[in-house]
Amino acid sequence: MSELLSLSRAARLVGVSRSILQKQIRDGALATFEGKVSTDDLAHNFPSISLEPADPELARVNQIKEKAFGKRVFERALPDKEVLAARLTALGKDITRTRAELSHYQLVMRWLDDKFDELAEENNALRSPLSSLKAWLHRELAEAPEAAMVLEARESYRQVVAPHVRLVPSDDDFFVEGSETLLEAALRAGIAMNYGCSNGNCGCCKARMVSGQIKKVHPHEFVISEAEKNMGYALMCANTAVTDVVIDAGTAAGPEDLPFQQITAQVEDMAYPNDDVLILRLKTPRTSRLRFLAGQHVTLRLAALPPVKFTIASCPCEERRLEFHIRRAAGNPFSDYVFRQLEKDALVDVEGPSGTFVLRQKSTRPLLFIAGNSGFAPIKSLVEHAIALDRTESIALYWIGSRERDLYMRNRCRAWADALDNFHFASLVAEGADFLHEIERIAVEYPQLANADIYVAGPEALVGAALQALPARGARVEQLLTEAVY
CATH number for the domain that contains residue 321: 2.40.30.10
Residue 73: its pLDDT value, please? 44
Domain boundary among 300, 323, 354: 354
Q: Give the count of domains, the chain.
A: 5
For residues 288 and 391, membership in a common domain is answered with no
The residue-averaged pLDDT of 87-109 equals 82
Q: Is residue 303 part of a domain?
A: yes
For residues 344 and 259, membership in a common domain is answered with yes
For residues 101 and 140, membership in a common domain is answered with yes
* pLDDT above 80 for 383: yes
pLDDT confidence tier of residue 124, bands split at 50, 70 and 90: confident
Nearest residue to 370 via CA among 290, 482, 451, 279: 482
Q: Is residue 362 part of a domain?
A: no
* Mean per-residue pLDDT over the chain, rounded: 87
pLDDT confidence tier of residue 227, bands split at 50, 70 and 90: very high
The residue-averaged pLDDT of 132-143 equals 80
For residues 138 and 233, membership in a common domain is answered with no
Query: Which has more pLDDT, 223 or 26?
Result: 223
For residues 170 and 265, membership in a common domain is answered with no
d(C-alpha 60, C-alpha 148), whole Å: 25
Give the angle 457-460-461 at the CA atoms, nearest 5°: 105
Q: Is residue 359 part of a domain?
A: no
Cis ω before 169 (30° cut-off from 0): yes
Residue 57: its pLDDT value, please? 42
* pLDDT above 80 for 192: yes
For residues 152 and 171, membership in a common domain is answered with no
DSSP 8-state code for residue 257? G
* pLDDT above 80 for 150: no
Element (DSSP H or E) covering residue 453:
strand 453-458
Beta-bridge mates of residue 216: 239
Residue 28: its pLDDT value, please? 86
For residues 112 and 187, membership in a common domain is answered with no
Quickly list DSSP for 25-73: HHTTSS--BTTBEEHHHHHHH-TT--SSSS-HHHHHHHHHHHHHTT--G
Residue 56: its pLDDT value, please? 45
d(C-alpha 365, C-alpha 327), whole Å: 33
Residue 74: its pLDDT value, please? 43
Range among 74-78, 80-84, 133-137, 288-292 rated most confident:
288-292
Residue 147: its pLDDT value, please? 62
Q: Is residue 443 part of a domain?
A: yes
The residue-averaged pLDDT of 150-167 equals 82
Domain boundary among 205, 221, 248: 248
Domain containing 411 equals 367-484
For residues 38 and 143, membership in a common domain is answered with no
For residues 291 and 350, membership in a common domain is answered with yes
pLDDT in tens, 33-85: 877 888 888 888 887 766 555 444 445 455 555 555 554 444 455 677 788 88
Residues contacting 469, CB < 8 A, separation 6+ = 436, 439, 440, 443
Domain boundary among 248, 274, 301: 248
pLDDT confidence tier of residue 145, bands split at 50, 70 and 90: low
pLDDT confidence tier of residue 333, bands split at 50, 70 and 90: very high
Q: 14-35 burial, b for 16+ CB within 10 Å, e for fewer?
A: bbbbbbbbbbbbeeeebeeeee
CATH code of the domain covering residue 172: 3.10.20.30
